[in-house]
Amino acid sequence: MRYTKIAQGQLEVSTVCMGCWALGGDRTWGPQDKTDAIAAIHAAMDVGINFFDTATGYGNSELLVGEALRDRREEVVIATKVGGRNLTAEKLPAACEQSLTNLGIDCIDVYHIHWPSRRVSVDETVRAMEDLKAAGKIRHIAVSNFGPENLSELLPLTIPAANQLAYSLLFRAIEFEILPACLDGDVAVTCYSPLMQGLLTGKFGSADDVPDGRLRTRIFNSDRADALHGEAGAEKETFAAIAEIAEVARQAGMDMAVMSLAWLLGREGVASVIAGARSPDQIRRNAAAGDLILPANVSTRLDEVTEPLRETMGANADMWEPQSASPIR
Ligand X SMILES: NC(=O)c1ccc[n+]([C@@H]2O[C@H](COP(=O)([O-])OP(=O)(O)OC[C@H]3O[C@@H](n4cnc5c(N)ncnc54)[C@H](OP(=O)(O)O)[C@@H]3O)[C@@H](O)[C@H]2O)c1
Cβ atoms of 196 and 171 closer than 8 Å: yes
d(CA 329, CA 327): 6
Asked if 58 is an active-site residue, the reply is: yes
- Residue nearer to ligand X on the CB measure, 115 or 248: 115
Query: From the CB of 25, what's the least distance to ligand X, in Å?
Result: 10
- Residue nearer to ligand X on the CB measure, 90 or 245: 245
Query: From the CB of 185, what's the least distance to ligand X, in Å?
Result: 18
Residues contacting residue 70 through CB under 8 Å, at least 6 positions apart: 104
Taking residue 223's Cβ as centre, other Cβ atoms within 10 Å add up to 9
- Chain position whose Cβ is nearest to ligand X: 19
Sign of the CA dihedral 258, 260, 263, 268? negative
Listing DSSP states for 182-213 in one string gives: HHHTT--EEEESTTTTTGGGT--SSGGGS-GG
- Residue nearer to ligand X on the CB measure, 11 or 143: 143
- Residue nearer to ligand X on the CB measure, 139 or 145: 145
Cβ atoms of 162 and 182 closer than 8 Å: no
User: Which residue ranges make up the site for ligand X (CB under 6 A)?
Assistant: 19-22, 29, 53, 114, 144-145, 164, 192-198, 201, 203, 257, 274-278, 282, 285-286
Distances 65 to 20, 242, 276 between C-alpha atoms, Å = 8, 32, 13
- Residue nearer to ligand X on the CB measure, 90 or 212: 212
Query: From the CB of 121, what's the least distance to ligand X, in Å?
Result: 20
Q: Which residues of 263-289 are buried (b: 16+ CB within 10 A; e: fewer)?
A: bbbebebbbbbbbbbbbbebbbbbbbb
Query: From the CB of 19, what's the least distance to ligand X, in Å?
Result: 2
CA 274 to chain centre: 5
Query: From the CB of 54, what's the least distance to ligand X, in Å?
Result: 6
Q: Which of 58, 111, 167, 192 is flagged as catalytic?
A: 58
Kindly give the pairing relationship between strand 3-6 and strand 11-14: antiparallel
Cβ atoms of 14 and 43 closer than 8 Å: no
- Residue nearer to ligand X on the CB measure, 244 or 272: 272
Looking at the DSSP bridge assignments, the partners of residue 166 are: 192
Query: From the CB of 134, what's the least distance to ligand X, in Å?
Result: 25
Catalytic residues: 58
